[in-house]
Structure 1
Amino acid sequence: MARWVGGSAAGPQVRAFIDLDEPVGLLMIGVVHHLGDDDDPAAVVAGYRDALAGGSYLFLSHYLDRGAATAELEETLLAHRGTGRFRSRAETSAYFGGLASVPPGLSYAAMWRGRRCSQAASTPASVWSPAGSAARRRASHPG
C-alpha cells in the first residue's frame, strides 16, 4: 500500500473513485507509521491532505515515540516486519498541516470515546498510538 499511497492524490486512479472536488473523509489509520523515512511520509500525507476540498476531514493515527519505552518495540517491528516507525508528537502533529484541529485533537484512542487515559484499558493502542482529526474549512462565500 505504501507504494500506491506515494502516487498522486489528484491522479486518474484516485479520481476514478473519489470526487476530490467534494468534501470527503480521509482515513489514514495504521498507514503512516508503516512509511519509512525514505518514503518521505510528510510529503505523502501532504499530497493527499492538500488535495482535500473545503469541508473535508483527515483522521490519522501513528505510533508515538516515547523514548526508551518504545525504542525496543520499534527495533523489533523494524527487524521482523520491516516497518513500524515511531515518531514524535511534533512530527505527527505536522502531518495535519494548516487544517483546523477537531476536539480532542491529537490524543490517545481512549480520549476519542470521552474517557480519560487513566480510565482506559491498558492496551497498546491506548498507550502508544494517538490519533487526531482535522478539518479543511470551507471557503467563505461573500454574502
Structure 2
Amino acid sequence: MSEIGRAETGPLDSRIDTTVAHPARRYDYWLGGGNNFAADRESGDAVAAAFPTVRTAAIENRRFLRRAVRYLVREAGIRQFLDIGTGIPTADNTHQVAQAIAPECRVVYVDNDPIVLVHARTLLTSSPERRTAYLDGDLRRPDEILDHPELSATLDLDRPVGLMLVAVLHFLKDADDPYGAVARLVSAMPAGSYLTLSHATDDHMPAETISAVDEAGDRTRVPFQFRGRDEVARFLTGTEPVPPGIVSVAQWRADDEVAPRPTAAETAVYGAVARIS
C-alpha cells in the first residue's frame, strides 16, 4: 500500500534505489502493474505469505478510492482534490475518476518515490490545462505540502477540497505523529471539504498473522503500523463521518459492486469519508 514521504533532496534519478522495496511500487505489484522491481516483489510476496488475501485488500482499497471520489464529485460537489500518497499512476487514479464526471476537477498528488514522480512528469505532459500536479512532499511535514507554490497554483484553498489519505497512514508510526499531521491538514481545509482515508487494521487477524506480517515488513524494510477501529476513528476527530462511517473498504457504499463482497478479515483495511466543518 502506498506511502507518502520525501526522500533526501537531489536529482530524482540519483534518489532511485531499486534494491530497496518501496510501498508505492509494492502496491503496484499487488495491483498487477509493471512498475516494480525484484525488491518490491520480494516484499510483496513476503507479506502475501503471511496474509494471503493482501492482493484482495489492495484491489478493494483501489475500488474504495474510486467509489469515494465518485461520491465526492457527484453528491458532495467537490471539484478539487489533494491526494497524498498516490503511488504509481495506474487505472482509476483520483484525477481520472473525478475528471470523467466533471472535467473541470483539479488534483494535486503528493508522493515520495522518485519513480512515481518520473511517471507523473510523463502524465503531466498530456494535460495542457494543467489540472493535475504532482509534488515531492512529506506527510510528516504537512506545512511543506500546504506551502508548496504548485499547490496554490493548482488548488484554491478558499473552496472545498477532497483531502485523500488512502492507504498511507499505516506507514507512519506513532513516533511520526500521524494524528498531528492529519489535524494540521484538516485545519487548512475550508468548511465543506472532505477527508477520505483508508488504513490497515489487525482487528480481524489472529495473533500469529499479525506477528508474521510485522516480521515480513521489518525484514524487507517496509515497516508499518496496524491500528484498530478506535485508533482510526481518532483521525476523524472534529469531522462528520459520512454513512456508513468506518467500515471495511469492501463494504463502504459498495451496493453496485459484484457480490459476494470480501469479508472484513480478507481485506483488513478500514475506510471512511468525513465532512470537514
TM-score, normalised by the number of residues in structure 2: 0.44
Matched, 1:107 2:110: no
Which letter maps to 2:242? V
Percent identity over the alignment is: 31
Q: Residue 96 in 1 paired to residue 233 in 2?
A: no
CA contact (8 A) 2:247 2:272 kept: yes
| Residue of structure 2 in register with 1:121 after alignment | 262
After TM superposition, the structure 1 stretch with the greater mean CA deviation from structure 2, 24-33 or 69-78, is 69-78
Contact 2:245-2:272 at 8 Å conserved across structures:
yes
More relative contact order in 1 or in 2 (CA 8 Å, sep 6+)?
1
Alpha-carbon distance, 1:119 to partner:
3.3
Q: Structure 1, unaligned stretches of length 5 or more?
A: 138-143
Distance 2:218 2:189 in 1: 32
Unmatched segments (≥5 aa) in structure 2: 7-137
Return closer, same or farther for 1:84/1:100 CA change in 2, 3 Å cut-off.
same
Query: Considering only CA atoms, is the larger Rg found in Structure 1 or Structure 2?
Result: 2
Contact in 2 for aligned 1:55/1:135 (Cα 8 Å): yes
Aligned to 2:14: none
The range that moved more, 86-95 or 8-17, is: 8-17
Q: TM-score, normalised by structure 1?
A: 0.80
1:43 corresponds in structure 2 to 180
Distance 1:123 1:89 in 2: 12
Cα deviation 1:22-77 (Å, max 9, x = unaligned): 10101101111111222111111111111111111100000112361433213322
Cα distance in 2 between the residues matched to 1:93 and 1:37: 15
- Give the CA RMSD over aligned residues: 2.4
Distance (Å, rounded) in 2 between the aligned partners of 1:58 and 1:110:
18
- Whether contact under 8 Å (2:161, 2:193) holds in the other structure is yes
Query: How many aligned positions are there?
Result: 134
Tell me which residue corresponds to 1:7. 142
How far does residue 97 in structure 1 lie from its aligned partner after superposition?
Answer: 1.1
